[in-house]
Amino acid sequence: MATVGEGAFTYEVIEDWAKLPPGWSFKEVGAVGTDENDNVYVFNRGEHPMIVFDRDGNFLRSWGEGRFPNAHGLHMAPDGTIWLTDDGDSTVRQCTRDGKILLEIGIPGKPAPYMSGEPFHRCTHTALSPQGDVYVADGYGNARVHKYDPKGRLLASWGTPGTDPGEFNIVHNITCDGDGWVYVADRENHRVQVFDGNGRYETQWNNLHRPCALYMPPGKCPVCYIGELGAGAPVNRHLPNIGPRLTVVDHTGKRLARIGSPNGPGFGPTEFQSPHGIAVDGHGDIYVGEVSWTNWPNIHGDTPRPADLRSFRKLRRVAEAVPAKA
């Protein structure tokens, strides 16, 4: 069994962990979440958008069929609900763990005008603060973060297109820490920007390449797991040391570990194609969803996609790492 990572963040790679029913496929995985029982929720772009497994990879249930055109973001809320972000129909939905919709923000299939700043145009991810405020990354057709109250009422928005502090070039992911700071994966600016709960810019983390996924465990001063998408153009698709990979940083952005081959994308057990969603369970194990189907042309050009293109893996912790959950 292959081992990846370094120091306290060392893991065994488990590639065939998910036991899908016969004939089922993820196609590709937009986002992942885990609950307090270490059940794993895989938000994917196959025919069964939400597939739930136990910690050992046994299939439990599925839901969301016909409802989510392009699964993108997932946030597990402390109250036991799940917030799902779909960039295909520009909506955010709060659901129960068996798929009942409790709240819907946005009009399915009717995005706001491109770069209008109005919610939403291909929103990408949702996060909750400890106070219950709802933050939405928006996204592919906007350069904004929107703040809502728990009932879905818009409170504030910030961000414009650009490269200066507080500006965005694809707002791709978002998370909050135990103090209410807001962390935004500003993907094509190759950074994570940090704001207070009202959108005031505080700092940024660099030394990243196309940060795509964010996972920050609850609690004070947590570490952050960052999925980096790697090369985005034919001219640098084979450039080494820019990903795709996972990077672990402390709450100040200091790098603690990197997981993945420095030689770029690949199919080996220690390599990634396109990490897009990350979750960490109570044992410190990492679940990684990849959008390999969508990202394939960026990496491999006109080469046909293989039938068994990988989209999901588990990394089982083998070192005494930082606790995943407080």
In a domain, 240, yes or no: yes
Distance of CA 252 to the CA centre of its chain: 20
**Proportion of the chain above pLDDT 90, given as a percent:** 86
Instruction: Read off the pLDDT band of 326 (50, 70, 90).
Output: very low
pLDDT category of residue 232 using cuts at 50, 70 and 90: confident
The half-sphere exposure of 224 on its side-chain side, counting CA atoms within 13 A, is: 31
What is the rounded distance in angstroms from the CA atom of residue 139 to the CA atom of residue 187? 10
Average pLDDT over every residue of 24-52: 97
- Asked if residues 125 and 118 have their Cβ atoms less than 8 Å apart, the reply is no
Whether the pLDDT of residue 275 is over 80: the answer is yes
202 in any annotated domain: yes
Q: Is the pLDDT of residue 321 over 60?
A: no
Secondary structure (DSSP) of 20-63: PPTT---SSEEEEEE-TT--EEEEESSSSSEEEE-TT-BEEEEE
Residue 189 domain-assigned?
A: yes
Q: How far apart are CA 107 and CA 21, in angstroms?
A: 33
Phi and psi angles of residue 111, each rounded to the nearest 5 degrees, phi first: -70, 155
Q: Which of 79, 104, 92, 80 is nearest to 31 (CA)?
A: 92
User: Is 43 domain-assigned?
Assistant: yes
Residue 322 in any domain: the answer is no
Query: What is the pLDDT at residue 203?
Result: 98
How crowded is residue 156: how many other Cβ atoms within 10 Å of its Cβ?
A: 13
Q: Considering only 58-72, 139-153, 230-244, which range has the smallest mean pLDDT?
A: 230-244
For the chain, the distance separating the N- and C-terminal CA atoms, rounded to the nearest angstrom, is 29
Please count the structural domains in the chain: 1
Q: How confident is the model at residue 301 (pLDDT cuts 50, 70, 90)?
A: confident
Mean pLDDT, range 133-150, rounded to an integer: 97
Average pLDDT over residues 288-310: 90
At 83-135, the pLDDT tens digits run: 999 999 999 999 999 999 999 999 999 999 999 999 999 999 999 999 999 99
Inside any domain, residue 75: yes
CATH of the domain at 165: 2.120.10.30
Mean pLDDT of 301-318: 92
Q: What stretches of 142-300 show up as alpha helix (H) in DSSP?
A: 292-300
pLDDT band of 24, cuts 50, 70, 90: very high
Q: What percent of the residues of the chain are helix, what percent strand, and what percent coil, each to the nearest 5?
A: 5, 40, 55
Reported as a single tens digit per residue, the pLDDT across 94-103 is 999 999 999 9
Does the structure show a pLDDT above 70 at 152? yes
pLDDT of residue 320: 63
pTM, two decimals, is 0.95
pLDDT of 237 reads 83
Q: Mean pLDDT across the stretch 265-289?
A: 95
For residue 233, give its domain range: 3-317
Mean pLDDT, the chain, as a whole number? 94
Question: Residue 324: pLDDT above 60?
Answer: no
**Closest Cα partner for 143 from 164, 124, 160?**
160
